[in-house]
Amino acid sequence: MKALIMAGGSGTRLWPLSREKYPKQFLKIFGEKSLLRLTYERLLRFLDHKDIIVATSKEYEYHVRNDLYPYEGYSLILEPERKNTGPTVLLGMLFALEKLKASEDEVIFVVPSDHYIEPEEKYVEYLKLGEKVAKMGYVVAFGIKPSSPDTNFGYIKLGSQILSEKDATACKIERFVEKPPYELAQAFLKDGSY
């Protein structure tokens, strides 16, 4: 198993703390460690450094290396320019296959660098369940149950259950709606299956 950390975003939604030259993944919002470092260290709970790929733009190379010092052994991909999620994921997958010699059926998690996740034990539990589901041939997406309508996030409508362990459950995705208008987000919340 490997992980691709996406660390190239410009973090515009957290302005003025986050700026284009110093986006939120490099901010130390929750103590002494940046969001990027917290993400990296979460992955170290079950992966070796050599199995972690960090993708960022050339302009953030210094910040990534500085944030992850003294860690070594991870792979750093420098994008010549920002092209959003799709090209970053493709570049990361090609790198894993060609440079890290990942097998075509190896599970590779794609994780954002700017999320705060607690409790970490549950996160690791969910990723391990996700790995099992991926090995069954599914593409895995993670989500949380919304507590209020929000137009800044995508909504996943749950389908039938695939697998359940402890209090982690994997379901088929019946529908995905990216950043719906407020009224639709309210309806999804009321529906209870998103």
Mean pLDDT of the chain: 92
- How confident is the model at residue 173, as a pLDDT? 96
- How confident is the model at residue 17, as a pLDDT? 67
Is the pLDDT reported for residue 177 higher than 70? yes
Give the β-pairing of 108-112 and 155-165: unpaired
| CATH topology (fold) of 2-117 | Spore Coat Polysaccharide Biosynthesis Protein SpsA; Chain A (3.90.550)
Q: pTM to 2 decimals?
A: 0.89
- How confident is the model at residue 82, as a pLDDT? 80
Domain boundaries, the chain: 2-117
